[in-house]
With several copies, the nearest count.
Chain A
Amino acid sequence: MMHYDFVFSGFGGQGVLFGSQLLAYAAMEAGLHVTWIPSYGPEMRGGTANCTVVISDEEIGAPLVRHPSAVVALNYPSVEKYEPQVAPGGLLLYNASLVLRPPTRVGIHCVPIPASDVAAELGNAKLLNMVMLGALLQITGVLPIGTVEQSLEAHLPARRRDMLEANKLALRRGAELAQEPLVAA
Chain B
Amino acid sequence: MAKQLMKGNEAIAEAAIRAGVEAYFGYPITPQTELLEYMSKRMPELGRVFLQAESEVAAINMVYGAACAGRRVMTSSSSPGISLMQEGLSYIAASNVPAVIVDVMRGGPGLGNIAPSQSDYFQMVKMAGHGDYKPIVLAPATVQEAVDLTVLAFDLAEQYRTIVTVLLDGMLGQMMEPVELPAMRALPATPPAWAITGAAGRAKNVVVPFRLQADELEALNFDLQRKIADIARREVRFKEYFIDGANADKVHGDRAELIVVAFGAAGRVALSAVKAARQQGIRVGLHRPITLSPFPDERLSQLADEARGFLVVEMNAGQMLEDVKLSVGGQAPVRFHGRMGGQVPMPDDIAQEIEKLDGMTSRPIDHKIEGPVVLRAAVGPARKPETGRN
Residue of B nearest to A3 (CB): B373
State the Cβ distance, B114 to closest chain A Cβ, in Å: 7
State the Cβ distance, A51 to closest chain B Cβ, in Å: 9
Contacts known (A37-B171, A40-B114); A142 close to B388, Cβ less than 8 A: no
Tell me whether A61 and B272 are in contact (CB under 8 A).
yes
Stretch of A63-71, A96-104, A158-166, A168-176 that contacts chain B: A63-71
Tell me whether A24 and B375 are in contact (CB under 8 A).
no
Chain A neighbourhood of B272, CB < 8 A: 61-62
Tell me whether A62 and B30 are in contact (CB under 8 A).
no
Stretch of A7-15, A72-80, A82-90, A119-127 that contacts chain B: A82-90
Contacts known (A36-B176, A41-B213, A61-B273); A141 close to B30, Cβ less than 8 A: no
* Count class of interface residues, chain A: 35 or more
Stretch of B93-101, B157-165, B223-231, B376-384 that contacts chain A: B376-384
Taking a contact as CB atoms closer than 8 A, the residue among B212, B270, B344, B373 that contacts A64 in the complex is: B344
Chain B neighbourhood of A167, CB < 8 A: none
B177 at the interface (CB under 8 A from A): yes
Residue of B nearest to A38 (CB): B174
A66 to B215 alpha-carbon distance, docked (Å)? 14
Residue of B nearest to A28 (CB): B178
B347 at the interface (CB under 8 A from A): yes
A185 at the interface (CB under 8 A from B): yes
Chain A contact residues, CB within 8 Å of chain B: 1-5, 21, 24-25, 28, 33-38, 40-42, 59-67, 69-70, 87-91, 109, 139-142, 182, 185
* 9 further contact pairs, Cβ within 8 A, besides A61-B268, A69-B372, A69-B378: A3-B390, A28-B178, A42-B213, A60-B177, A62-B271, A64-B344, A69-B375, A87-B375, A89-B378
The list of the 9 closest CB pairs from A to B, nearest first, reads A61-B272, A61-B271, A89-B379, A37-B175, A69-B375, A36-B176, A62-B269, A141-B377, A42-B212
